[in-house]
Amino acid sequence: AQKITQTQPGMFVQEKEAVTLDCTYDTSDQSYGLFWYKQPSSGEMIFLIYQGSYDEQNATEGRYSLNFQKARKSANLVISASQLGDSAMYFCAIDTNSGYALNFGKGTSLLVTP
Amino acid sequence: GAGVSQSPSNKVTEKGKDVELRCDPISGHTALYWYRQSLGQGLEFLIYFQGNSAPDKSGLPSDRFSAERTGGSVSTLTIQRTQQEDSAVYLCASSLTVVTSTEAFFGQGTRLTVV
Protein backbone atom coordinates (compact mmCIF):
# COMPACT_ATOMS: atom_id res chain seq x y z
CA ALA A 1 0.00 0.00 0.00
CA GLN A 2 1.13 3.54 -0.71
CA LYS A 3 1.58 6.04 2.07
CA ILE A 4 2.41 9.73 2.17
CA THR A 5 3.94 11.44 5.21
CA GLN A 6 4.03 15.20 5.68
CA THR A 7 5.79 15.92 8.96
CA GLN A 8 5.28 19.70 9.09
CA PRO A 9 1.78 20.57 10.28
CA GLY A 10 2.50 24.28 9.94
CA MET A 11 5.14 26.49 8.35
CA PHE A 12 5.85 30.22 8.32
CA VAL A 13 7.79 32.07 5.65
CA GLN A 14 8.41 35.70 4.99
CA GLU A 15 7.24 37.21 1.74
CA LYS A 16 9.79 36.87 -1.10
CA GLU A 17 11.67 34.11 0.69
CA ALA A 18 11.82 30.49 -0.50
CA VAL A 19 10.23 27.67 1.49
CA THR A 20 10.49 23.88 1.32
CA LEU A 21 7.55 21.66 2.26
CA ASP A 22 8.55 18.11 3.10
CA CYS A 23 6.98 14.95 1.74
CA THR A 24 8.14 11.36 2.08
CA TYR A 25 6.40 8.38 0.60
CA ASP A 26 6.31 4.65 0.82
CA THR A 27 5.42 2.41 -2.08
CA SER A 28 6.36 -0.99 -3.42
CA ASP A 29 5.53 0.02 -6.97
CA GLN A 30 8.30 0.72 -9.47
CA SER A 31 6.15 3.14 -11.41
CA TYR A 32 4.24 5.85 -9.61
CA GLY A 33 3.41 9.52 -9.72
CA LEU A 34 3.79 12.20 -7.09
CA PHE A 35 1.60 15.27 -6.90
CA TRP A 36 1.33 18.48 -4.96
CA TYR A 37 -1.96 20.29 -4.49
CA LYS A 38 -2.73 23.63 -2.88
CA GLN A 39 -5.93 24.13 -0.92
CA PRO A 40 -6.74 27.77 -0.10
CA SER A 41 -9.39 28.70 2.43
CA SER A 42 -11.99 28.55 -0.34
CA GLY A 43 -11.64 24.77 -0.19
CA GLU A 44 -10.89 23.74 -3.75
CA MET A 45 -7.83 21.64 -4.50
CA ILE A 46 -5.51 23.27 -7.03
CA PHE A 47 -3.03 21.07 -8.88
CA LEU A 48 0.50 22.48 -8.68
CA ILE A 49 3.06 20.00 -9.97
CA TYR A 50 3.59 16.38 -10.95
CA GLN A 51 6.67 14.12 -10.90
CA GLY A 52 6.76 10.70 -12.47
CA SER A 53 8.96 8.10 -10.83
CA TYR A 54 10.96 7.60 -14.03
CA ASP A 55 11.43 11.30 -14.73
CA GLU A 56 15.14 12.02 -14.47
CA GLN A 57 14.77 15.74 -14.02
CA ASN A 58 12.99 17.48 -11.18
CA ALA A 59 9.65 18.94 -12.22
CA THR A 60 9.26 22.70 -12.28
CA GLU A 61 6.19 24.89 -12.80
CA GLY A 62 6.85 28.59 -12.47
CA ARG A 63 7.75 29.30 -8.84
CA TYR A 64 7.13 25.67 -7.87
CA SER A 65 9.74 22.97 -8.11
CA LEU A 66 9.77 19.43 -6.83
CA ASN A 67 12.96 18.18 -5.21
CA PHE A 68 12.68 14.48 -6.07
CA GLN A 69 15.10 12.13 -4.30
CA LYS A 70 14.04 8.67 -5.32
CA ALA A 71 16.49 6.74 -3.14
CA ARG A 72 15.30 8.63 -0.07
CA LYS A 73 11.67 8.41 -1.21
CA SER A 74 11.17 12.10 -0.78
CA ALA A 75 9.37 14.62 -2.97
CA ASN A 76 9.70 18.01 -1.35
CA LEU A 77 7.95 21.06 -2.79
CA VAL A 78 10.01 24.22 -3.09
CA ILE A 79 8.21 27.52 -3.48
CA SER A 80 10.48 30.35 -4.50
CA ALA A 81 9.79 34.04 -3.91
CA SER A 82 6.79 33.41 -1.64
CA GLN A 83 3.74 35.60 -2.05
CA LEU A 84 0.97 36.39 0.42
CA GLY A 85 -1.41 34.46 -1.82
CA ASP A 86 0.62 31.31 -1.25
CA SER A 87 -0.86 31.03 2.24
CA ALA A 88 -2.85 27.79 2.12
CA MET A 89 -2.79 24.08 2.93
CA TYR A 90 -0.46 22.04 0.77
CA PHE A 91 -1.00 18.34 0.15
CA CYS A 92 1.40 15.79 -1.25
CA ALA A 93 -0.14 12.75 -2.93
CA ILE A 94 0.87 9.56 -4.70
CA ASP A 95 -1.13 7.65 -7.26
CA THR A 96 -2.16 4.13 -6.38
CA ASN A 97 -1.74 0.87 -8.21
CA SER A 98 -5.03 1.49 -9.90
CA GLY A 99 -3.82 4.78 -11.36
CA TYR A 100 -7.14 6.47 -10.78
CA ALA A 101 -7.11 7.43 -7.10
CA LEU A 102 -4.64 9.49 -5.15
CA ASN A 103 -3.38 8.81 -1.61
CA PHE A 104 -2.96 12.12 0.15
CA GLY A 105 -0.84 13.16 3.11
CA LYS A 106 -2.35 15.13 5.99
CA GLY A 107 -1.07 18.41 4.61
CA THR A 108 1.08 21.33 5.68
CA SER A 109 -0.39 24.71 6.50
CA LEU A 110 1.76 27.50 5.06
CA LEU A 111 1.47 31.09 6.23
CA VAL A 112 3.30 33.79 4.31
CA THR A 113 3.93 36.90 6.36
CA PRO A 114 4.65 40.43 5.08
CA GLY B 1 -19.00 24.49 -17.31
CA ALA B 2 -15.80 26.36 -16.58
CA GLY B 3 -14.97 24.24 -13.55
CA VAL B 4 -16.25 21.48 -11.32
CA SER B 5 -19.36 22.65 -9.53
CA GLN B 6 -20.63 21.16 -6.28
CA SER B 7 -23.87 21.83 -4.46
CA PRO B 8 -24.80 22.63 -1.85
CA SER B 9 -21.66 24.34 -0.59
CA ASN B 10 -22.80 23.79 2.99
CA LYS B 11 -25.29 21.33 4.44
CA VAL B 12 -26.39 20.93 8.03
CA THR B 13 -28.54 17.90 8.70
CA GLU B 14 -29.93 16.06 11.67
CA LYS B 15 -28.56 12.68 12.61
CA GLY B 16 -30.54 9.93 10.89
CA LYS B 17 -31.62 12.00 7.89
CA ASP B 18 -30.57 11.26 4.31
CA VAL B 19 -28.52 13.76 2.27
CA GLU B 20 -27.68 14.12 -1.40
CA LEU B 21 -24.55 15.87 -2.60
CA ARG B 22 -24.27 16.91 -6.21
CA CYS B 23 -21.27 17.23 -8.51
CA ASP B 24 -21.32 18.77 -11.97
CA PRO B 25 -17.99 17.94 -13.69
CA ILE B 26 -16.17 19.84 -16.40
CA SER B 27 -17.88 19.28 -19.73
CA GLY B 28 -16.26 16.44 -21.65
CA HIS B 29 -14.56 14.87 -18.63
CA THR B 30 -15.38 11.17 -18.58
CA ALA B 31 -13.83 10.43 -15.18
CA LEU B 32 -15.31 11.67 -11.94
CA TYR B 33 -14.03 11.11 -8.40
CA TRP B 34 -15.43 11.59 -4.91
CA TYR B 35 -13.17 12.22 -1.92
CA ARG B 36 -13.88 12.95 1.73
CA GLN B 37 -11.80 15.31 3.85
CA SER B 38 -12.31 15.12 7.59
CA LEU B 39 -11.10 17.93 9.85
CA GLY B 40 -7.31 18.10 9.91
CA GLN B 41 -6.94 15.12 7.61
CA GLY B 42 -5.92 14.53 4.03
CA LEU B 43 -8.32 13.37 1.39
CA GLU B 44 -9.86 9.91 1.58
CA PHE B 45 -10.83 8.36 -1.76
CA LEU B 46 -14.44 7.16 -1.90
CA ILE B 47 -15.39 6.20 -5.45
CA TYR B 48 -14.73 6.99 -9.08
CA PHE B 49 -16.77 6.85 -12.27
CA GLN B 50 -15.66 6.16 -15.80
CA GLY B 51 -18.67 7.31 -17.76
CA ASN B 52 -21.69 6.13 -15.80
CA SER B 53 -19.91 3.08 -14.43
CA ALA B 54 -18.31 2.80 -10.99
CA PRO B 55 -15.88 -0.15 -11.27
CA ASP B 56 -14.66 0.03 -7.68
CA LYS B 57 -16.90 0.89 -4.75
CA SER B 58 -14.58 -0.45 -2.06
CA GLY B 59 -13.65 3.04 -0.85
CA LEU B 60 -17.18 3.82 0.32
CA PRO B 61 -17.09 3.82 4.16
CA SER B 62 -20.30 1.85 4.68
CA ASP B 63 -23.42 0.65 2.89
CA ARG B 64 -25.10 3.90 3.90
CA PHE B 65 -23.07 5.56 1.16
CA SER B 66 -23.99 5.26 -2.50
CA ALA B 67 -23.26 7.20 -5.64
CA GLU B 68 -24.56 7.36 -9.15
CA ARG B 69 -23.79 9.21 -12.32
CA THR B 70 -26.21 9.76 -15.15
CA GLY B 71 -25.62 10.79 -18.74
CA GLY B 72 -21.88 10.70 -18.17
CA SER B 73 -22.20 14.03 -16.44
CA VAL B 74 -23.74 14.92 -13.08
CA SER B 75 -23.05 12.67 -10.12
CA THR B 76 -24.88 12.37 -6.84
CA LEU B 77 -23.40 11.04 -3.60
CA THR B 78 -26.10 9.90 -1.20
CA ILE B 79 -25.60 9.27 2.49
CA GLN B 80 -28.48 7.52 4.23
CA ARG B 81 -29.20 7.69 7.95
CA THR B 82 -26.39 10.18 8.51
CA GLN B 83 -24.16 9.84 11.56
CA GLN B 84 -22.01 12.47 13.26
CA GLU B 85 -18.85 10.81 11.96
CA ASP B 86 -20.06 11.58 8.42
CA SER B 87 -19.37 15.27 9.08
CA ALA B 88 -16.65 16.27 6.63
CA VAL B 89 -15.99 18.13 3.41
CA TYR B 90 -16.92 16.05 0.38
CA LEU B 91 -14.84 16.92 -2.66
CA CYS B 92 -15.55 16.00 -6.24
CA ALA B 93 -13.00 16.00 -9.05
CA SER B 94 -13.09 15.27 -12.76
CA SER B 95 -10.55 14.47 -15.44
CA LEU B 96 -10.56 13.69 -19.14
CA THR B 97 -9.89 10.01 -18.47
CA VAL B 98 -8.88 7.77 -15.59
CA VAL B 99 -5.55 6.93 -17.22
CA THR B 100 -3.79 9.50 -15.11
CA SER B 101 -4.75 11.67 -12.19
CA THR B 102 -2.54 14.49 -13.42
CA GLU B 103 -5.40 16.37 -14.98
CA ALA B 104 -7.88 16.06 -12.12
CA PHE B 105 -9.69 19.30 -11.34
CA PHE B 106 -11.47 19.65 -8.01
CA GLY B 107 -14.62 21.46 -6.99
CA GLN B 108 -14.87 23.59 -3.89
CA GLY B 109 -16.54 20.85 -1.92
CA THR B 110 -19.66 20.41 0.16
CA ARG B 111 -19.20 20.90 3.88
CA LEU B 112 -21.54 18.45 5.61
CA THR B 113 -22.33 18.87 9.28
CA VAL B 114 -24.42 16.25 11.05
CA VAL B 115 -25.92 17.47 14.33
Distance of CA B57 to the CA centre of its chain: 12
pLDDT band, residue A70 (cuts 50/70/90): very high
The stretch A30-53 carries a mean pLDDT of 90
Eight-class DSSP state of A59:
P
- Chain A and chain B share a number of CB contacts under 8 A equal to 62
**A34-38, A103-107, B41-45: segment of lowest average pLDDT:** B41-45
| pLDDT(A43) > 90 | no
Q: Which of A87-91, B4-8, B71-75, B79-83 has the lowest mean pLDDT?
A: B71-75
Q: Is A36 on the interface with B (CB under 8 A)?
A: no
Contacts of B109 in chain A (CB under 8 A): 43-44
Lowest mean pLDDT among A20-29, A99-108, B59-68: A99-108
Measured in angstroms, the CA of A47 and the nearest CA of chain B are apart by 7
Closest CA to A110 of A43, A16, A13, A45: A13
User: What are the chain B neighbours of A107 within 8 Å (beta carbons)?
Assistant: 42
Asked if A43 and B43 come within 8 Å (Cβ–Cβ), the reply is: no
- Where residue B99 falls among pLDDT bands split at 50, 70, 90? low
State what percent of residues in chain B have pLDDT above 90.
Answer: 70
For position A97, what pLDDT does the model report?
67
Supply the pLDDT for residue B100.
Answer: 58
pLDDT at A100 over 90: no
Check if B100 contacts A (Cβ < 8 Å).
yes
Q: For chain B, give percent helix, strand, coil, nearest 5.
A: 5, 45, 50
Q: Which residue of A has its CA nearest to B95?
A: A100
pLDDT of residue B36: 96
Q: Which of B68, B48, B50 is nearest to B58 (CA)?
A: B48
